[in-house]
Amino acid sequence: MLKRLSSLHISDGKHKRRLSLVRTLVSGAVLSTALLGLPCRIQAQGDAPAPPVRPEFRWIVEAPLLATSATLYAISSQLHVTRKLVPTQGLDPGDVHWSFDRNIIGEHNVRADSDSDYFRDAIVAYPMVLAYFCQPSGERLKGTVQRSFVYAEAILIAEGLSSVIKRTADRPRPYTYLPADERPHESAYDVNSEVAFRSMPSGHATIAFCASGFAMTDHLLSRPDASWQQRAGFSFIGGFLAGMTSGLRVEGGQHFPSDAIVGGLIGTASGVAVPLLHHYIGGQARRAAMPSAGAWWQAIGGQVAGIGAGLLAASFY
């Protein structure tokens, strides 16, 4: 009995230390947002000579994007997921081709699974929050609404493509390889549901990296005068939230690492490409200059560092 209590105490101490580290990292991200956003707000409220920059809407761009997303969802609705009968001992791990995927079988942290939803919601809101506070006070609402349409297009395409692949791949989730007595009893781990066979790619990673990529690209296009600290810092925060979201899906036993990687690539491609397809215009309806190569590298460097920090924080759950 004493040995069990001691084991529980040690386990509880480890869990508290992990949560303390995660809270520290999240608090640091929030503090960074506030500190980096301060000069952004000061400039937006002052008499800066630079006019507001906003995306330009043209049917030659909007029509293909909307048609593409509608087509993807139409295709997805016609596809049916093939479910397997999961035996009591679980599916055979030998069917998992990559060793780095097989190595995570056994992960089933229920708390990580539920917390991934909170981080996903945070990163989904992040691009619009960033856009709102980095515009002149008189343009904040209008500019944010305009960007929300472009943002929605990026998400619709990423989610549509993700849904088509999910229903085509029919990949079992990691928890289907666990014996019945090791699987959590929560409904999210039900091996008899259709969702249990829609592992590839990770939907959370898709939308999280779409949001992160959009926030980085929209900020680069909208604020060519931003400092390198702001470019790197804001991209770091987006990358951290996206990395944390994806890492928690793996820790929760809902996805293999390859699911998160493919979802991240799909999301990033859509989040970066869609705003780039829209010309951003500034004063006198003139097209704004594209960011320099140096500006891109500063933002990408910050995002990569953030992704790494987010994955590291998720591993402590």
What would the pLDDT profile of 219-243 be if each residue is shown by its tens digit?
A: 999 888 889 999 999 999 999 999 9
> Residue 38 pLDDT more than 90?
no
Please report the pLDDT score of residue 32 as a whole number.
52
What would the pLDDT profile of 84-142 be if each residue is shown by its tens digit?
A: 899 999 999 999 989 999 999 988 899 999 999 999 999 999 999 999 988 877 788 88
> Residue 9 pLDDT more than 80?
no
With tokens 């690209």, the residue in question is 217
Question: Beta partners for 55?
Answer: 280
Q: What whole-number percentage of the chain has pLDDT above 90?
A: 65
> Residue 192 pLDDT more than 70?
yes
> Residue 282 pLDDT more than 70?
yes
Please report the pLDDT score of residue 8 as a whole number.
37
> Residue 202 pLDDT more than 90?
yes
pTM: 0.85
Please report the pLDDT score of residue 28 as a whole number.
52
Please report the pLDDT score of residue 1 as a whole number.
40
Query: Quick one: pLDDT band at residue 267, thresholds 50, 70, 90?
Result: very high
* Arithmetic mean of pLDDT, 250-260: 96
Please report the pLDDT score of residue 259 as a whole number.
97
Query: Quick one: pLDDT band at residue 46, thresholds 50, 70, 90?
Result: very low
Mean pLDDT over all residues of the chain? 85
Q: What is the distance between the alpha carbons of residues 44 and 139, in angstroms, rounded to a whole number? A: 9
> Residue 6 pLDDT more than 60?
no
Least confident piece of the model among 256-260, 288-292, 309-313:
288-292
Please report the pLDDT score of residue 2 as a whole number.
37
- By residue count, the chain amounts to 317
- pLDDT higher at 177 or 284: 177
> Residue 53 pLDDT more than 80?
yes
> Residue 5 pLDDT more than 70?
no
